[in-house]
Amino acid sequence: MIERCLCLVCLDGASGAELSDTARAMLMLHGGGVAKNGGNRWYDKPMQFVVGADGCCGVVCEHSAFEGIVLVQCTEYLLKYMIGSPSKLVRAASVSELPAPRRLRWKCTPEIHKLLASSADKLQRLVGDLDMNVHHFHDYGKEFIKKQKMSPDAYVQVALQLAYYRCHGRPVSTYESASLRRFQEGRVDNIRSATPEALAFVIAMTDGICFLPQDTKKMELLQGAITAQTKYTIMAITGMAIDNHLLGLREVAHELKIEKPEIFKDEAYLISNQFILSTSQVPTTVEMFCCYGPVVPNGYGACYNPQSDHIIFSVSSFRESPQTCSAEFVKCLVQGLLDMRDLQRKERLSLLHP
């Protein structure tokens, strides 16, 4: 029955924790561990609808089946239905065509019990390792960015580059998901946000030794970084990025049983596919946010939701890595966003009062 079902409803007990957004994010991802609702998940199902006794509710999705936009559209439909049609909900609750639920009885051998205990220990280690930080940036949102005649997504991506550089003093291979849903059976490709233009801007903002230190020149570098990011985004969503094509060539070589081409053994290629910064924009029209974990041990997961007057960031990393800290990354990200705003204000003032 479980294998045949499309989705699951997870009825969680009260977690006993303060329901901050960071706590909600972790409870959705791992249930809070063995002592809470960690065993109340079935992670190979496409969608799990979590309903907590303490009001902590959400959806957990298994990414191989679909992209985040499907999760958002499904969740938004449900939330808008609940908000707009309470009478429909009452009727649906009183009259249901679904069969009555019945309890599934499990028969577990001693060997299965050992495996369950081992899985519980592994889950607990993963729960302790996850460093999640959900931050609401309230100083401005996408409307301010649009007034600067800039793409909000490209703007945030440049801010993420600035945040990482300030934290770690170097650029890294960055992944931003680009939807290919305009194509039949399209999934995603990769927008590589660590552009030379973004690096030039973050060096000017960080090192203080830029050969063009004036605010006007920094503004030019910011606009150049935004333009490069926007151009790559358009290429990616129209099927002109590099990652899917290279993946296709690699898999064709494997299927034809020919020697792996040299490019796929090259150190630069291998480094470029270690996405230390894994990012995605998941905008919503209702009050919600999305989150996920890093994709490499020493990396960050950074999901963001630009709203009119604020931006929600969900930043994750692993505590076992001595190189990463979600709180420090968020601190650098906030400072970078404020610096980018101040830079534009100074530029506007200089135009008004030359």
H or E element, residue 35: none
H or E element, residue 6: none
Q: Is 63 a catalytic residue?
A: yes
Query: What tokens were used for 263?
Result: 């490019």
Question: Could you give phi then psi for residue 306, rounded to 5 degrees?
Answer: -75, 125
Strand-pair partners of 316:
132, 301
Question: Could you give phi then psi for residue 146, rounded to 5 degrees?
Answer: -65, -35
Query: What tokens were used for 202?
Result: 């973050």
**How far is the C-alpha of 33 from the C-alpha of 39, rounded, in Å?**
7
**How far is the C-alpha of 45 from the C-alpha of 60, rounded, in Å?**
9
Q: 31-37 long-range CB contacts below 8 Å, 24 or more apart?
A: 32/127, 33/123, 33/124, 33/127, 33/128, 34/120, 34/123, 34/124, 36/12, 37/10, 37/12, 37/13
DSSP state of 99: P
Query: What tokens were used for 28?
Result: 């959705």
Catalytically annotated residue among 30, 63, 113, 138: 63
**How far is the C-alpha of 228 from the C-alpha of 223, rounded, in Å?**
9
**How far is the C-alpha of 177 from the C-alpha of 281, rounded, in Å?**
8
Query: What tokens were used for 152?
Result: 């909000």
Residue 176 in contact with residue 157, Cβ under 8 Å?
Answer: yes
Query: What tokens were used for 232?
Result: 């790559």
Question: Could you give phi then psi for residue 59, rounded to 5 degrees?
Answer: -130, 135
**How far is the C-alpha of 98 from the C-alpha of 234, rounded, in Å?**
45
Edge-to-edge, what's the strand order for the sheet holding 57-61? Answer: 7-12, 47-52, 57-61
| Cβ atoms < 10 Å from Cβ of 234 | 13
Active-site residue numbers? 63
